[in-house]
């Protein structure tokens, strides 16, 4: 079962947490080989790859992401799963930082964002989006 958008229960759990402190959002993304736009979208049937659709999402949502104070703080190219299900593969991994959970909510409810998120939905086969509270690292793992 793939996860592209949060369920109502997941979104409610997100909103129930404090909204007034910085958050990091871990993104793991598996792309479709071929983007799957709905028939009413101008890109339907154009043969775009999932990566091309996801890049369109990134470009077109960037003004809203920046306006709410978001920034990408880490990005990496997943290579292999060392611990975990071996059938999970990810094409993209990154951490986005927001000045507050309220800023993230402002972004995802912005009318422009709600339009361009259709690129993400067309390009993504599966994803994980994990809200994290940033903390200063200690000397060892888990500290």
**Residue 61, domain CATH:** 3.30.70.100
pLDDT digits (tens, 9 = 90+) for 51-68: 999 999 999 999 999 999
Q: Cα–Cα distance between 92 and 32 in angstroms, integer?
A: 12
Query: Which one has a higher pLDDT value, 23 or 1?
Result: 23
What pLDDT, on a 0 to 100 scale, did the predictor assign at position 128? Answer: 96
The residue-averaged pLDDT of 8-31 equals 96
The 10 Å Cβ neighbour count of residue 57 is 20
Q: At 135, is the secondary structure helix, strand, or coil?
A: coil
Please measure the distance between the N-terminal and C-terminal CA atoms of the chain and give it in whole angstroms. Answer: 34
Q: At 40, is the secondary structure helix, strand, or coil?
A: coil
What pLDDT, on a 0 to 100 scale, did the predictor assign at position 124? Answer: 97
50 belongs to a structural domain:
yes
pTM for the predicted model, two decimal places: 0.91
pLDDT band at 94 (very low <50, low <70, confident <90, very high): very high
2 belongs to a structural domain:
no
Contact 85, 1 (CB under 8 A): no
76 belongs to a structural domain:
yes
* β partners of residue 27: 94, 129
Q: Which residue range(s) make up the domain with 101?
A: 21-132
Rounded to the nearest 5°, which phi and psi values hold at 131? -75, 135
* β partners of residue 72: 96
Q: Cα–Cα distance between 105 and 122 in angstroms, integer?
A: 21
139 belongs to a structural domain:
no
15 belongs to a structural domain:
no
16 belongs to a structural domain:
no
14 belongs to a structural domain:
no
72 belongs to a structural domain:
yes
Q: Is the pLDDT of residue 1 over 80?
A: no
Q: Cα–Cα distance between 35 and 122 in angstroms, integer?
A: 5
Domain count, the chain: 1
């Amino acid at each position: 079962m793939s996860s592209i958008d949060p369920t109502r229960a997941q979104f409610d759990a997100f909103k129930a947490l404090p909204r007034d402190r910085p958050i990091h959002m871990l993104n793991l993304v598996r792309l479709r080989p071929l983007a799957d736009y709905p028939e009413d979208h101008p890109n339907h049937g154009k043969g775009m790859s999932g990566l091309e659709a996801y890049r369109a999402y990134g470009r077109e949502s960037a003004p809203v992401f920046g306006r709410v104070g978001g920034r990408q703080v880490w990005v990496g190219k997943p290579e292999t799963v060392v611990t975990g299900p071996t059938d999970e593969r990810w094409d993209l991994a990154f951490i986005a930082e927001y000045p507050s959970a309220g800023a993230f909510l402002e972004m995802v409810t912005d009318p422009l964002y709600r339009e361009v998120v259709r690129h993400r939905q067309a390009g993504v086969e599966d994803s994980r989006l994990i809200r994290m509270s940033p903390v200063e690292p200690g000397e060892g793992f888990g500290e």
